[in-house]
Amino acid sequence: APAEAAETAATPVALKVAAENNVDISQVKGSGPGGRVTKEDVVSYILRNAPAPSAPVAASGDAAPVPNPTPEVASTPAPAAPARQSAPAPAAPAPQAPPTTDSGRQLPAGQMPEIVEVERREERQRMSRRRQTIARRLVEAQQTAAMLTTFNEIDMGAVMAVRKKHKDSFKERHGIGLGFMSFFTKAVVGALKNFPLLNAEIQGDEVVIKHYYDIGMAVGTDQGLVVPVLRDADRKSFAEIERGIAELAGRARDGKLTLAELQGGSFSITNGGIYGSLMSTPILNTPQVGILGMHKIMERPVVVNGEIVVRPMMYVALTYDHRIVDGSDAVRFLVHIKDLVEDPEALMLAS
């Protein structure tokens, strides 16, 4: 039967209707050009072969009384022969079944399932100039740098405790909230001072090491990602960092950043945690050779002093350019950030 169905010429709609109603297409006589089976041919076939309602076999047997019935006679298979003659066998061919809907509900005799044409839409949009620039720079980064990412995790309990302790007095004194970004910015600057190759860039066959700390802060906007630069982060207090980040982010979302605010930068930080990201591999903001990825804080079971405790943990990721940064330096750089963030009181005193 499959070979015959494959050789039967039929329209796509006819094949679809036949498949939906369990009809062997090879049993349908085509009325189209060259004997091609059409949708109407399949519908006619289904209607012709739909079984008509008939009285139950048991009822017709009751109409003719049997003389002297006995339990032995009633239990014998003798009545099976008339049943086979008056009704199709249980293994009747599938085409005899009445039409059904997709959900399996049987339709009344003569009614066919409705064929619903699903619209397959496409929409073409022109990329904005900003999106084109982002796309070009991301591809350039992938093609230019030898990017590699290393991971670690930070216990955020101490930072959260410090924020809770000082948030009211900090805001009252400085007019700005104490967030996580200032702690991470300070930690990054401290780590860069110990691992200067992560605060460098490649120019031709030379490595240019920068002794200033201009930190790019990735900000998501409706038009795409931008990375305004917080200049001289090493010279700023916690309040100045928080205020500077808030101002840059506000201008970024309002589309009011200047070209100067987007240029330069010696290292970048991106925080996917504000969107719920648990872990990611950031892409370098070339020609920079390092970028730190922050993520969502989640309570997880960890082992502390031999005991399992629940702590607020954050995964952090460092993507670096392996052309000038060795893996050992990258790992130690990220561990240094972890150590500084997990001791926020010392970090604040040092600042």
Instruction: Count Cα atoms within 13 angstroms, Cβ side, for 181.
Output: 26
Q: Annotated catalytic, 222?
A: no
Structure tokens at 323: 């052309």
Structure tokens at 243: 């205020």
Q: Which of 322, 329, 339, 343 is catalytic?
A: 322
Which residues share a beta bridge with 220?
A: 225
b/e per residue, 169-179, with b = 16+ CB within 10 A? ebeeeeebebb
Instruction: Spell out the SS3 assignment of 282-347.
Output: CCCCCCCCEEEEECCEEEEEEEECCEEEEEEEEEEEEEEECCCCCHHHHHHHHHHHHHHHCCHHHH
Cβ-based neighbour number of residue 153 at 10 Å: 15
Structure tokens at 193: 């001072």
Q: Which of 168, 211, 232, 326 is catalytic?
A: 326
Distance CA 46, CA 23 (A): 8
In the block, tokens 């050009």 appear at 33
Structure tokens at 311: 């702590």
| 320: nearest Cα among 59, 165, 141 | 141
175 Cβ neighbours under 8 A, 6+ residues apart? 243
Kindly tell me the number of DSSP H helices and DSSP E strands found in the chain.
Answer: 13, 11
Distance CA 279, CA 275 (A): 11
Do the strands 307-321 and 147-155 form a parallel or antiparallel pair, or are they unpaired? antiparallel
Q: Annotated catalytic, 322?
A: yes
Distance CA 185, CA 191 (A): 10
Q: Which residues does the annotation mark as catalytic?
A: 322, 326
